[in-house]
Amino acid sequence: MSGVAIELRGVRKHYGFRQPWVLRDVDLAIERGSILQVAGPNGAGKSTLLRILAGAVLPTAGVRRTAEGLALGYMPERLTAPSFSAGAYLHHHARLRRLEKDEGDGEISELAERLDAQHLLGQRMARLSKGSLQKVAAIQSLLGRPKFLVMDEPFASLDAPSRQTLAAILDERARRGTAVVFCDHRDGSARVADRRLVLRDGHLTEPATAAATGARDADGEPVRFTVGREASDREIGRLIDDGWHIVDVRAHGPDGVEIRAVRRDKSP
Amino acid sequence: MSRVAGYLLAEYLNSRRWAAPFLLLVVGVVVIYAQPPNPVLETAGGAAAFLLLAQCWLALSFLNSQPDDDRQILAATMGGRRLALGRIAGLAALALLASLLTLGYPWIAGRFQRAPSAAELGWILVANLVCAGAGSALAALFARPAVRSRAVTVLAVTACLVVTVPLGLSPAPATANALDTTVAAQLPARFGGTIGSVTAFVLVATFVSALLWRYRE
């Protein structure tokens, strides 16, 4: 666990007996200072994976290990407004994280200013718009400078300037050693992340895109891409368009396909 | 734990979801003591029995008032164990408050037939705590996230409250019967069994609830 902030091994999750598996045998290690984006279609289990990473939900099977004393910040996809003003809510959370009053006030002011949310602090949360609630939830998760940040669709309802600011904040935090995991459908958010994984049918896989994995073929060895069976034709086409030579395609598990490919300039 | 309990109680207070069960408690206690002569222990026993029902509702509204995502934020940032302990501490604070109110109103308003002795006041507080504890523990077993459906919660709690009476398992009639005396010195013998069994139930139910809250999240 030296450079690893958090690790999942063989994690499976279902919500109750007779319910389908939401996650199946997920293995994941997240390094300190890294930013990981989890992508995937609706209902793929992204929020469940993030809740398990955050420790908000226990896995049905498997192990979640965290570095010792890891302070954690969690931003849910939707924050149901608690019965506070935004300012009171954030001050309560600053106290929960053992921040001194001045320290808490300072962090709240700084983050609210950067995310253009100062005017929200005096308002009751029940009256805030979806985007404003999203800003309050983001500030809440960042309080106390946690060393592991889990954010569920953090950019979803934010305006463009706030998206850029939040991306910059995440980048700054990662540079100081914070491990960040977020999920987002937006393609542009991949620029924030330095690693991207795709969750499909409960399995976590590397995305089959040359842009995300191109660095891995430096030694000329074939790179393995695992994709869902239904998306394999599309992904093979995308790889060829991106300058890859397909070496081999074979079945991977019940629903997957493994594609082995090398860069065209390195292929024999 | 105290920070989590403080946050949960502040959120509950601001939500005003306490209003309906609290009004039921206040109105019920006022009505019970509205008809003199109000013998000290006997009337207090009836009020304690009523407290079981009111505290059960109060505890359910406390445990279920917190939105799921807010609860998950606390579980993530504070840890599941601290969250469970904070919820239990919040419940205990509410049970103590309701017990003191049920004792304080007739005492301060002079509704008892005569001024109660210190021993009688002590026993009344114990009786109130026994019933409030039982009501809280029952609510904890059926609160979110252990039981997600409010309809199932209401049906299950009501069934428990009703079915346990003819089966002789409810602490409400047992408390009322135990306090149906004029001699406080008899209470250890009359009430000791109920105190012991309710304490055991509260401990087991609290432990099981904390596990259910964590594993059913």
**With helix as H, strand as E and coil as C, how does B94-154 read?**
HHHHHHHHHHHHHHHCCCCCCCCCHHHHHHHHHHHHHHHHHHHHHHHHCCCCCCCCHHHHH
CATH number of A1-70+147-199: 3.40.50.300
- What residue in B sits closest to A16 (Cα-Cα)? B216
Question: Between A and B, how many CB-CB pairs are < 8 A?
Answer: 76
Rounded CA gap, B185 and A55, in Å? 52
Rounded CA gap, B142 and B193, in Å? 26
Of A62, A71, A60, the residue nearest A11 (C-alpha)? A62
Write out chain A's pLDDT in tens, 268 residues: 568 999 999 999 998 878 889 999 999 999 999 999 998 888 889 999 999 999 999 999 999 999 888 899 999 999 998 899 999 999 999 999 999 999 999 999 999 999 999 999 999 999 999 999 999 999 999 999 999 999 999 998 899 999 999 999 999 999 999 999 999 866 555 568 888 898 888 888 876 544 444 434 445 677 777 777 777 777 787 777 667 788 888 887 777 788 888 876 654 4
- Are the C-beta atoms of residues B4 and B79 closer than 8 Å to each other? no
Chunk chain B into consecutive blocks of 10 residues (it has 217) and report each block's average pLDDT, rounded to whole numbers: 91 95 97 94 97 98 93 94 95 98 96 95 98 98 93 96 96 97 94 97 97 87
The C-alpha of B88 sits at a distance from chain A's nearest C-alpha, in angstroms, of: 17
In this structure, the dihedral spanned by the alpha carbons of residues B157, B161, B166 and B172, taken in order and rounded to 10 degrees, is 160
Q: What pLDDT does residue A185 have?
A: 66
Kindly state the DSSP code that residue B79 receives in the 8-state scheme: -
DSSP labels, chain A: --SEEEEEEEEEEESSTTSPEEEEEEEEEEETT-EEEEE--TTSSHHHHHHHHHTSS--SEEEEEE-TT--EEEE-SS-PPPSSBHHHHHHHHHHHTT--HHHHHHHHHHHHHHTT-GGGTTSBGGGS-HHHHHHHHHHHHHTT--SEEEEESTTTT--HHHHHHHHHHHHHHHHTT-EEEEE---GGGGGT-SEEEEEETTEEE----HHHHGGGGTTSPPEEEEEEGGGHHHHHHHHHHTTEEEEEEEEETTTEEEEEEEEGGG--
- What residue in A sits closest to B15 (Cα-Cα)? A83
Which of B3, B78, B217 is facing A57, going by the closest CB pair?
Answer: B217
**Omega within 30 of 0 (cis) for the link into B173:** no
**Sheet with A223-228, side-by-side order of all strands:** A223-228, A256-263, A244-252
Q: Does the distance separating the beta carbons of A56 and B73 come in below 8 Å? A: yes
- What residue in B sits closest to A142 (Cα-Cα)? B77
Q: Does the distance separating the beta carbons of B4 and A96 come in below 8 Å? A: yes
- In this complex, is the C-beta atom of A198 within 8 Å of any C-beta atom belonging to chain B? no
- In this complex, is the C-beta atom of A140 within 8 Å of any C-beta atom belonging to chain B? yes
Question: Residue A39: beta bridge partners?
Answer: A198
Tokens 């001045």 belong to residue: A102
Query: Can you give the residue ranges of every domain in chain A?
Result: 1-70+147-199, 81-145, 206-266
Residue positions counted in chain A: 268
Q: What pLDDT does residue B208 have?
A: 97
Calculate the CA B208 to chain-centre distance.
17
- Are the C-beta atoms of residues A223 and A216 closer than 8 Å to each other? yes
Rounded CA gap, B105 and B137, in Å? 24
Rounded CA gap, B30 and B50, in Å? 12
- What residue in A sits closest to B82 (Cα-Cα)? A96
The C-alpha of B79 sits at a distance from chain A's nearest C-alpha, in angstroms, of: 7
Which of B69, B76, B215 is facing A55, going by the closest CB pair?
Answer: B76
The C-alpha of A78 sits at a distance from chain B's nearest C-alpha, in angstroms, of: 7
Which class in CATH covers the domain with range A206-266? alpha beta
Counting Cα atoms < 13 Å in the Cβ hemisphere of B147 gives 19
Kindly state the DSSP code that residue B66 receives in the 8-state scheme: S
Q: What pLDDT does residue A42 have?
A: 84
Q: Does the distance separating the beta carbons of A82 and B11 come in below 8 Å? A: yes
Q: What pLDDT does residue B22 have?
A: 97
User: What is the ipTM metric for this complex?
Assistant: 0.88
Q: Rounded to two decimals, what is the model's pTM?
A: 0.84
- Are the C-beta atoms of residues A254 and A229 closer than 8 Å to each other? no
Rounded CA gap, B201 and B209, in Å? 12
The C-alpha of A140 sits at a distance from chain B's nearest C-alpha, in angstroms, of: 9
Kindly state the DSSP code that residue B183 receives in the 8-state scheme: -
Q: What pLDDT does residue A266 have?
A: 52
- What are the structure tokens assigned to A234, written together? 């599309």
**3-state percent helix, strand, coil for chain B, nearest multiple of 5:** 80, 0, 20
Q: What pLDDT does residue A218 have?
A: 47
Which of A51, A84, A98 is facing B11, going by the closest CB pair?
Answer: A84
- Are the C-beta atoms of residues A50 and A150 closer than 8 Å to each other? yes
- What residue in A sits closest to B74 (Cα-Cα)? A56
Calculate the CA A54 to chain-centre distance.
11
Query: Can you give the residue ranges of every domain in chain B?
Result: 2-215
- What are the structure tokens assigned to A102, written together? 């001045």
In which region does residue A69 sit, left (phi positive, over 0), alpha (psi from -120 to 50) or beta (all else)? left
